[in-house]
Amino acid sequence: MTQSLHYRELRCERTTGYARLWPLARQEALTVFRTKWGVALYLFCLMPGIGRLIMLLIMFGVIQFGPVPLANRFDGNMPAGMRHLNPNDASFYLHSTLEVMPGMVFFMLLTTMIVARSVARDRATNALELYWTRGISPWGYLLAKWWGGYLITATMTVALPLLLWVSACLLADDWTLFQQTFAQFFIGLGAIAAVTGLWTMIGTFVSASAGSANGAMVIWCVLLVGTRALGGILSGILKDPELQSCLSFWEAGGVIVRSIADLPQQRTWLGGAVATMCVLFITTMLLARRRMRVKEALQ
């Protein structure tokens, strides 16, 4: 007596590179939501944007905090140093993201736990066997890890400013705010998106070249905080404030964004900022390339 085993028919289908990389990128983007502490960290990193949104609601009178909505008291004659307090100016929506406090601090908190640990954590658990089991090349794997880290980071640096701007346009009495800020805001938003991609790519390279996840976290924090401290010390000794804007890894990105979007800034050196970002990108990429060779993947 025989019995059918009802095996399913095996079909071999070609899978594109994107189809193999996207599950890994999605998994990396959702890593922070796997634990309650990760969710708490993510929500905490959104606090500057939420605080800015509350400020916006107060200014437009949605939350009553005075006899007259504060937005009606702003005019076009504000000093350049206070433009970031005017909701009728594009710098209002981008300022907190680019500043050291709170922008860099909360960016460092999120990327230290996500981006800086991404590849080093997998190496520690021998998860780099994905090279062979899923047909993913070393650079394809690195690209997927970067894409996942970029998506979760961009929700803070790109999505929150966009939410603020859309909210302001809907709260305004007419379309004047939209017309005044549309072009400059989206140029700045595109620049922030590009610089965020560069920041997170360098962070992924750091993770790929580090010997352990904890070591990658330390190197990443030193890169963010240490370069700013070095720039501050050298600019004070040499009495050249421009040095801090180009030697600091974080502030160099801010200088590039502000220059592209024509946002207010003082005593900066655009060429030095671009050089700093290029040097860090090339250096970390070469270190990651050496470590990400297939024969050394599991070492």
Residue 24 lies in a domain: no
Specify the pLDDT at position 173: 80
Specify the pLDDT at position 288: 87
Residue 45 lies in a domain: yes
22-26, 135-139, 156-160: range with lowest mean pLDDT: 135-139
What is the three-state SS of the chain?
CCCCCCCCCCCCCCCCHHHHHHHHHHHHHCHHHCCHHHHHHHHHHCHHHHHHHHHHHHHCCCCCCCCCCHHHHCCCCCCHHHHHHCCCCCHHHHHHHHCHHHHHHHHHHHHHHCCCCHHHHHHHCCHHHHHHHCCCCHHHHHHHHHHHHHHHHHHHHHHHHHHHHHHHHHHCCCCHHHHHHHHHHHHHHHHHHHHHHHHHHHHHHHHHHCCCHHHHHHHHHHHHHHHHHHHHHHHHHCCCCHHHHHHCHHHHHHHHHHHHHCCCCCCCCHHHHHHHHHHHHHHHHHHHHHHCCHHHCCC
Region 184-197 average pLDDT: 93
Residue 8 lies in a domain: no
Residue 92 lies in a domain: yes
Specify the pLDDT at position 15: 65
Residue 102 lies in a domain: yes
Residue 19 lies in a domain: no
- Per the structure, how many domains does the chain have? 1
Where in the sequence is the domain holding 206, given as residue range(s)? 32-296
- Higher pLDDT pick, 82 / 145: 145
pLDDT tens by residue, 105-128: 899 999 998 898 888 888 877 776
Residue 9 lies in a domain: no
Specify the pLDDT at position 204: 93
| pLDDT, averaged across the chain | 81
Residue 4 lies in a domain: no
Candidates 243, 244, 258; CA nearest to 195 is 258
- Higher pLDDT pick, 121 / 14: 121
Specify the pLDDT at position 16: 66
pLDDT tens by residue, 240-285: 777 777 788 888 888 899 889 888 887 777 888 888 899 999 999 9
Predicted confidence band at 70 (pLDDT cuts at 50, 70, 90)?
low
Residue pointed to by tokens 């905490």: 44
Specify the pLDDT at position 131: 60
Specify the pLDDT at position 298: 44
Region 17-34 average pLDDT: 84
Candidates 94, 109, 93; CA nearest to 46 is 109
pLDDT tens by residue, 197-233: 999 999 999 998 888 888 889 999 988 888 888 877 8
Tell whether the model's pLDDT for residue 66 goes beyond 60.
Answer: no
